[in-house]
Amino acid sequence: MEEYAGEPMGMGTALVRTAFLVDAVYADSVREFDLTVPQAQLLCVLIARPYGMFELAKTLGLAKSSISGLVDRSEKRGLVRREADPGDGRAFRVALTDKGAQLAEQFHEETTKRVAELPLGLSAAEQEVLVGLLTRVIADNHVPAVFTDSGCPSAKC
């Protein structure tokens, strides 16, 4: 892989290369925890609370058939369970099992730590500015909360 030689980059190139870097770290973490990317995303979303199928599909950007298969496969691994939706007797929600919650927390903690190490070459002030700018980009583009600072007291998690 060609290394960065310090030449100026445009915004698009810088963001794509940053996404490539983060994706590589995320992919390594997914492999180490014996998950697929969609399973890891599902577990991280469910850390906060159980979700209905429609809400999960919308949050993860998946078609109804894809989310059903993902939940089925995750349920077979003992990571999630279906439970009755108290607001709609015909529907159900997807929740983490104890095994799934433990795996989700471990995966989230390790992956967050690894990704947070990427900008360690920046000063604390630069890191703070970077977090602020990225937060605005995320908010402006209505990115769903697939990966959050669950239980994290600061932006340094």
Question: What whole-number percentage of the chain has pLDDT above 90?
Answer: 75
- Has residue 156 been placed in a domain? no
Which domain range does residue 45 map to? 11-115+122-140
Note the pLDDT tens digit of each residue in 1-20. Answer: 456 667 788 999 999 999 99
- Has residue 153 been placed in a domain? no
146 pLDDT band (50/70/90 cuts)? Answer: confident
Sign of CA dihedral 64, 29, 33, 138: negative
Tokens 């199928």 sit on residue: 53
- Has residue 154 been placed in a domain? no
- Has residue 4 been placed in a domain? no
pLDDT tops 70 at residue 95: yes
Average pLDDT over every residue of 125-138: 94
In this structure, what CATH number is given to the domain that contains residue 57? 1.10.10.10
pTM score of the predicted model: 0.81
Report the alpha-carbon distance of residue 155 to residue 94 in Å, rounded.
28
Least confident stretch, 75-84, 91-100, 140-149: 140-149
- Has residue 146 been placed in a domain? no
85 pLDDT band (50/70/90 cuts)? Answer: confident
Report the alpha-carbon distance of residue 28 to residue 39 in Å, rounded.
14
- Has residue 60 been placed in a domain? yes
- Has residue 83 been placed in a domain? yes
Report the alpha-carbon distance of residue 157 to residue 149 in Å, rounded.
7
Question: How many domains is the chain built from?
Answer: 1
Burial class (CB in 10 A: 0-12, 13-18, 19+), 51: buried
Task: Note whether 35 and 74 are within 8 A (CB).
Answer: no
pLDDT tops 70 at residue 152: no
Report the alpha-carbon distance of residue 156 to residue 2 in Å, rounded.
30
Report the alpha-carbon distance of residue 92 to residue 100 in Å, rounded.
18
Q: Please give the mean pLDDT across all residues of the chain.
A: 88
